[in-house]
Amino acid sequence: MSASQKLVLASGSPRRIALLQQAGIEPDRIMPAEVDETPLRSEHPRSLAKRLAKAKAEVASAYLAEEGDTGGNFILAADTVVAVGRRILPKAEVAEEAANCLGLLSGRSHRVFTGVCLLTPGGKMRQRMSETRLRFKRLSRDTINAYLASGEWRGKAGGYAIQGLAGTFVVKLVGSYTGVVGLPLYEVIALLTGEGYKPRDIGPDGTKS
């Protein structure tokens, strides 16, 4: 990686920042990118995650262009969608939404799709998708109420954060745990190293040195 190349994370999510740091990567800049996350009519959850990740990367790129910063940036964006079948669950903003999500997920299987988009200094766009299948145990009303009281559900897709108390709800997980948290590290490292971004702590095979 040349000294002029920088990594811009198009998200203000503390969990995404922490996941990058876990992989030995410190973003040079945090640039939250707000987009309309309303699904299109009949849009598949996978397509939504892919579209929103791309939109966030493009918004961050536009912000940088407005500042006159038009070169040397890797722009990384991601979006996570939780779905039961084709039904897309909201990012819960009020307790009622979270309670409805948890009631729906109780004792059932669901999928978490996290789309990742990378814009390179050379103007290329690369995308990856993480798909994880999970099954929750049956959640009693008391369990749901206790989780709502924790506040961990706020702003979370599907009304839960697996890295917190909701980790105890998971009976089975097949796929990427970090993808469910919000940033699938395998896919992210593959994208970055494949496009020539090689921080000091990341070896050529994508592992920490």
Is 205 within a domain? no
Is 199 within a domain? no
Q: What is the pLDDT of residues 26-84, one digit of tens each?
A: 999 999 999 999 999 999 999 999 999 999 999 999 999 998 887 789 999 999 999 99
Is 125 within a domain? yes
Establish whether 79 is a catalytic residue.
yes
Number of domains in the chain: 1
Q: Name the pTM for this structure.
A: 0.90
- Position 5 confidence tier, pLDDT thresholds 50, 70, 90: confident
Q: Are 107 and 134 in contact (CB under 8 A)?
A: no
Q: What is the pLDDT of residues 109-146, one digit of tens each?
A: 999 999 999 999 988 999 999 999 999 999 999 999 99
Is 63 within a domain? yes
Of the residues 79, 142, 201, 205, which is catalytic? 79
Is 200 within a domain? no
Is 1 within a domain? no
Question: Above 60 in pLDDT, residue 13?
Answer: yes
Is 209 within a domain? no
Is 208 within a domain? no
Domain of residue 56: give its range: 6-194
Q: Lowest mean pLDDT: which of 39-43, 71-75, 184-188, 202-206?
A: 202-206
For the domain that residue 72 is a member of, what is the CATH number? 3.90.950.10
Distance CA 162, CA 139 (A): 15
Kindly state the helix (H) or strand (E) to which residue 30 belongs, with its residue range. Answer: strand 29-30
